[in-house]
């Protein structure tokens, strides 16, 4: 009766003994599209960060006589804008602001929304009702409308854009974090941890967060593209970044008058927004499948 044999049980092959994150990285690297997008985004971000060291023309200095030069003009590889400023320099400097306003709100909303959602999901009861009902109210606004409403009331400016976009993305992230937390909380290992006498804070730190952050993070990455398009949209409407700052959405707006003269130049900032948001979307999809997160 005392003999214990493992004979009947399957012993897994050695190569399967790997940590979660190393297998995520391995799966991600096997996806050429996602890797390609990561490279493009990294290049854009690096260019934005190191723009001052790139030996570019002054993005603010215009010239009345060199306005709206076409692509490939000598000295202006991507032409000039309606005030004769170098498009290449403005697009690269523009990436700084667009990426900044496009990514920072999602990062902020990720932290705030996860904190709220995990609190609501783990605490349940009254706390859950309170947090989730407030979230429902903000959810009642389509995201574009809410962003424009808050930005419109606050007025133009970088900080105001960051604030309004962060507010827009907190509710959806809170909802996802709450629903993932609630389902994790119902699992037996959380009960086992409670039975061992652990407090709520310890259980959340050790057993809940590790299983909630992944799906919520993937969801947050899927919002980055929306946020960037919205951020540029606010500037396009004139309630985001103020001129003469280079920002893709704002450039689209100021170049609108140029569509009859030099349509290619007028389309350039949009192409940048499109490429960036496409890469963000594909990267998010790649992360989703690499991290095995279901919709």
Partner 1 sequence: MSRIDQQLDGRDRGGPAQPLILAQDLKKHFPIRSGLLNRKTATVHAVDGISFEVRKGETLGIVGESGCGKSTTARLLIGLIELDDGTIVFDGDAVGADLSLKEMRKSVQMVFQDSYASLNPRLTIEESVAFGPGVQGLSDPPKRARDLLARVGLDPDRFGQRYPHELSGGQRQRVNIARALAMSPRLVILDEAVSALDKSVEAQVLNLLADLKEEFGLTYIFISHDLNVVRFVSDRVMVMYLGEVVEVGPVEAIYARQAHPYTASLFSAMPSMDPDNRTLEPPLAGDPPNPVNPPSGCRFHTRCRFAEDICSTAKPRLDVFGSNRDHLAACHMRVPFSGHSLADVETSP
Partner 2 sequence: MLVYFLRRLLYVCPVALGVSIICFMLVHIAPGDPLTSVMAVDATAQEQAAMRAAYGLDKPLPTQYAIWLGKAVQGDLGKSIASGRPVADEVGRAVKNSLMLAFAASLLAFPIGTSLGFLAGYFRDSWVDRLVMSIAIAGVSLPNYWLGIVLVIIFSVTLGWLPAMGAGAGDWAWDLTHLSHLVLPAVTLAVVPIGIVARTMRALVGEIYSMDFVQALYAKGLEPLDVLRHVIRNVAPTGLSVMGIQLGYLLGGSILIETVFNWPGTGFLLSSAIFQRDLPLLQGTILVLALFFVVLNLAVDVAQAAIDPRIKRS
Q: Contact at 8 Å (CB) between 162 and 224?
A: no
Of 24 and 108, nearer to partner 1 (C-beta) is: 24
Of 91 and 229, nearer to partner 2 (C-beta) is: 229
Token pair in block for residue 59: 């993005």
Q: Is 138 in the site for partner 2 (CB under 8 A)?
A: yes
Q: How far is the CB of 234 from partner 2 (least distance, A)?
A: 9
Length of the chain: 295
Categorise residue 258: left if φ over 0, alpha if ψ from -120 to 50, beta otherwise: alpha
Q: Is 54 in the site for partner 2 (CB under 8 A)?
A: no
- Report the 10 Å Cβ neighbour count for 117: 29
Q: What interhelical angle do 158-185 and 87-123 show, nearest 10?
A: 40
Q: Contact at 8 Å (CB) between 121 and 185?
A: yes
Q: Is 35 in the site for partner 2 (CB under 8 A)?
A: no
Of 188 and 295, nearer to partner 1 (C-beta) is: 188
Q: Is 103 in the site for partner 2 (CB under 8 A)?
A: no
Kindly give, in sequence order, each residue whose CB lies less than 8 Å from that of residue 141, ignoring residues fewer than 6 positions away. 149
Binding footprint of partner 1 on the chain (CB under 8 A): 1-6, 8-12, 16-17, 19-20, 187-189, 191-198, 202, 206-207, 210-211
Of 155 and 197, nearer to partner 1 (C-beta) is: 197
Token pair in block for residue 284: 């998010």
Of 192, 109, 111, 177, whose CA–CA distance to 143 is shortest? Answer: 109
Q: How far is the CB of 138 from partner 2 (least distance, A)?
A: 7
Q: Is 17 in the site for partner 2 (CB under 8 A)?
A: no
Q: How far is the CB of 56 from partner 1 (least distance, A)?
A: 45
- Which residues, 148 to 167, sit near partner 2 by CB under 8 A? 148-150, 152-155
- Which residues, 233 to 262, sit near partner 2 by CB under 8 A? 233, 236-239, 249, 252, 256, 259-260
Q: Can you tell me the distance from the alpha carbon of 57 to that of 48, in angstroms, rounded to the nearest whole number?
A: 14
CB burial of 30-55 (b: ≥16 within 10 Å; e: otherwise) equals ebeebeebbebbeebeebbeebeeee
Q: How far is the CB of 72 from partner 2 (least distance, A)?
A: 19
| Residue entry with tokens 């391995």 | 26
Of 199 and 263, nearer to partner 2 (C-beta) is: 263
Interface residues toward partner 2, by CB under 8 A: 133-134, 136-138, 140-145, 148-150, 152-155, 225, 229, 232-233, 236-239, 249, 252, 256, 259-260, 263, 266-267, 269-270, 273-274, 277-278, 280-282, 285, 295
């Amino acid at each position: 009766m005392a003999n214990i044999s493992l004979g009947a049980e399957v012993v897994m092959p050695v190569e399967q003994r790997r940590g979660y994150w190393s297998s995520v990285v391995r799966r991600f690297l096997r996806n050429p599209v996602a890797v390609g997008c990561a490279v493009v985004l990294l290049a854009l971000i690096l260019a934005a960060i190191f723009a001052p060291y790139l030996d570019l023309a002054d993005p603010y200095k215009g010239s009345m006589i060199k306005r709206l030069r076409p692509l490939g003009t000598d000295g202006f590889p991507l032409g000039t804008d309606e005030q004769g400023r170098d498009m290449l320099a403005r697009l690269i400097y523009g990436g700084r602001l667009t990426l900044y306003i496009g990514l920072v709100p999602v990062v902020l909303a990720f932290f705030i929304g996860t904190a709220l959602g995990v609190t609501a999901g783990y605490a349940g009861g009254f706390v859950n009702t309170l947090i989730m009902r407030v979230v429902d109210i903000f959810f009642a606004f389509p995201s574009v409308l809410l962003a424009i409403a808050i930005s419109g009331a606050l007025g133009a400016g970088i900080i105001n854009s960051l604030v309004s976009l962060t507010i827009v993305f907190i509710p959806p992230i809170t909802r996802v974090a709450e629903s993932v937390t609630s389902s994790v909380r119902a699992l037996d290992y959380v009960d086992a941890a409670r039975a061992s006498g652990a407090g709520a804070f310890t259980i959340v730190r050790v057993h809940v967060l590790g299983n909630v952050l992944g799906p919520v993070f993937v969801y947050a990455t899927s919002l980055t593209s929306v946020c960037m398009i919205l951020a540029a949209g606010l500037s396009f409407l004139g309630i985001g970044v103020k001129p003469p700052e280079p920002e893709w959405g704002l450039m689209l707006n100021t170049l609108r008058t140029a569509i009859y003269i030099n349509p290619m130049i007028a389309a350039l900032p949009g192409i940048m927004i499109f490429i960036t948001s496409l890469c963000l979307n594909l990267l998010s999809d790649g992360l989703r499948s690499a991290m095995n997160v279901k919709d």
